[in-house]
Amino acid sequence: MGDQPTEETEELDEAFEGEHRGAFGEFGGESSGFIDRAFRERIVLASVTLSGDNIEEAEASLDELARLVDTAGADPVARVQQNRLSPDRATYVGSGKAEEIRQISESLDADTVVFDNELSPAQQGNLEKILKRSALDRTAVILDIFAQNASSPEGKAQVELAQLRYRLPRLRRSGRTFSQQAGGIGTRGPGETQLEVDRRRLMRRITKLEGNLKQLRKNRATQSKSRKRTSNRAVAIVGYTNAGKSTLLNALTDAGVLVEDRLFATLDATTRRLALPGGEAVFLTDTVGFVRKLPHQLVEAFTSTLDVVVDADLLLHLVDSSDPDPSGSINAVRTVLKEIGADTVPEVFVFNKADLDPVAAQQLKAREPGSVVCSATTGEGLEDLLEVVGSHLRRLTRTVDLLIPFDRGDILAQVHREGEVVDETSGSQGWLIRARFEEASVGRLEEFIDPATKTSS
């Protein structure tokens, strides 16, 4: 939990201390990514639409790639699209198209070509030979942005792990291709021996990072268990990157999380306690945003951060109402939620930035029953939002009827401690109580539940 750093996380932070020179530790250097930021690289964007792909979705994906490239610190200068039945095994795009991309790149003096599709290491290598310049894929660009934005030791470790897993199968190629990766992989001269040395170092580093992150995850699980004992519910804000998640957490609590008009400003989870209008407290968490085709290396590496989403009782799915393609962004978020196993957590849609486009916000709300419209910056709709959160969480509890013998004052006390008593009367054999409980409490009180009147709401 990011609420307050606990002793355990501080210890782990110390364990990571000093391991990160740049975001890539011993493999890093001044520049930590695939795109050179000493100047603004000129980038040609390329995408292949396969048969069965939705053309509009492919367009939206390419728009998103342009924003990602810009965020990574480079300028998109052209777009090339191709329709194919299936990817070319050797070069992804057809060889004629690859030649066309080379000519365009030359005429525009582009430094790099970024493909919207995931390239295999071999395809990437072959393309670079044809294009005579770096060929990157979407994954490399996203990893680059994450590397720039990682600030906590854990965030850096997670990004480094994802980067190294991406690099490992690409190690074979050496020479100019990797010369931009500032850190020397492939620049220490050719030869099998050097390659083996590099690979061993890389794998050793991966194992170390995995070990550190696993330990951190274990500590998190312990903290999460102790949180559950307090019976406070956990609510996680999820959504497309830049939807306003951090702004919302700041507006509702005094979290003071960094807010920026850029993609992936937040990488670490931050949790704050929030009192709902009914008086009950919840833990509200802001975490990393999602995009289309989020690299699986990143999703895997961020499991400890994303556990908080999987374990949440309720997700606030924040959507930017002024987004030109809200459905596409919603689907992108849902895809990641499914990948991490959080698609079964109850979800409330929150259409944010209503101040920018009130009409669109209301239209979106009308489409999604039970959703809320708000503006995290003006504060409009935030009271409604809290009401909706409260009523959702109350519905997640179960109401049960109990018969407690008069000589079990201890159980009566437990009922008042753990539950919300709706009705209390005295019968001939004991107290008759109707109360709302969390599932765990229901289990502990099993022997006092009147089965005939057992209800849930």
Residues lying near ligand GTP in the complex (CB under 6 A) are found at 239, 241-247, 259-261, 263-266, 289, 352-353, 355-356, 375-377
Helices (H), 72-152: 95-107, 121-131, 138-149
Q: Which residues of 307-397 form beta strands (DSSP E)?
A: 314-320, 347-352, 372-373
Q: Where are the alpha helices (DSSP H) in 108-191?
A: 121-131, 138-149, 153-167
230, 250 Cβ separation under 8 angstroms: no
Residue 286 DSSP one-character state: E
**CB under 5 A: which stretch of 237-245, 365-373, 381-389, 406-414 binds Mg ion?**
237-245
In whole angstroms, how close is the CB of 151 to Mg ion at the nearest point? 12
Q: Which CB sits closer to Mg ion, 265 or 433?
A: 265
Alpha carbons 292 and 332: distance in angstroms, whole number: 5
72 binds, among ligand GTP, Mg ion, none (CB under 5 to 8 A by kind): none
Q: Which residues pair with 272 in a beta bridge?
A: 284
The listed partner (Mg ion, ligand GTP, none) that binds 147, CB under 5 to 8 Å by sort, is: none
Yes or no: say if 240 and 317 are a contact pair by the CB < 8 Å rule.
Answer: no
Pairing of strands 233-239, 112-115: unpaired
- Tell me 84's DSSP state: E
- Judged by beta carbon distances under 5 to 8 A according to partner kind, the member of Mg ion, ligand GTP, none in contact with residue 287 is none
Q: How far is the CB of 258 from Mg ion (least distance, A)?
A: 7
Closest distance of CB 264 from ligand GTP, Å: 5
Minimum distance of ligand GTP from residue 375's CB (angstroms): 4
Least distance (Å) between residue 354 CB and ligand GTP: 7
Q: In angstroms, what is the minimal distance from the CB of 68 to ligand GTP?
A: 12
Q: Which does 376 bind (CB under 5 to 8 A by kind): Mg ion, ligand GTP, none?
A: ligand GTP
Place of tokens 């299936």: 86
Provide the token pair at 34.
Answer: 């695939």
Size of the site for Mg ion (CB under 5 A): 4
Q: Both tokens of residue 411?
A: 């159980």
> Tokens 């600030």 label which residue?
151
* 242 touches, from Mg ion, ligand GTP, none (C-beta below 5 to 8 Å by class): ligand GTP
Which one of 115-123, 133-141, 260-268, 414-422 is the stretch in contact with Mg ion (CB under 5 A)?
Answer: 260-268
CB of 345 to ligand GTP, least distance (A): 18
Q: Which of 134, 266, 305, 321 binds Mg ion (CB under 5 A)?
A: 266
375 binds, among Mg ion, ligand GTP, none (CB under 5 to 8 A by kind): ligand GTP
Residue of 246, 250, 270, 297 that binds Mg ion (CB under 5 A):
246
Q: Is 352 in the site for Mg ion (CB under 5 A)?
A: no
Instruction: Choose the contact partner of 356 out of ligand GTP, Mg ion, none; CB within 5 to 8 A by kind.
Output: ligand GTP
21 sits in the region (left: phi over 0; alpha: psi -120 to 50; else beta) called: beta
Residue 353 interacting partner from ligand GTP, Mg ion, none (CB closer than 5 to 8 Å by kind): ligand GTP
Residues 6+ apart with CB under 8 A from 22: 28, 29, 30, 31, 32, 183
Between 240 and 437, whose beta carbon lies closer to ligand GTP? 240
DSSP state of 170: G
| Alpha-carbon distances, residue 339 vs 65, 118, 307, 312, 343 (angstroms) | 21, 17, 12, 16, 8
180 near Mg ion, judged by CB under 5 A: no
C-alpha angle 156-154-12 in degrees, rounded to nearest 5? 135
Residue nearest to Mg ion (CB): 266
- Region of residue 419 (left: phi > 0; alpha: psi -120 to 50; beta: else): beta
Q: Least CB distance from residue 82 to ligand GTP, whole Å?
A: 31
Interaction site with Mg ion (CB under 5 A): 245-246, 265-266
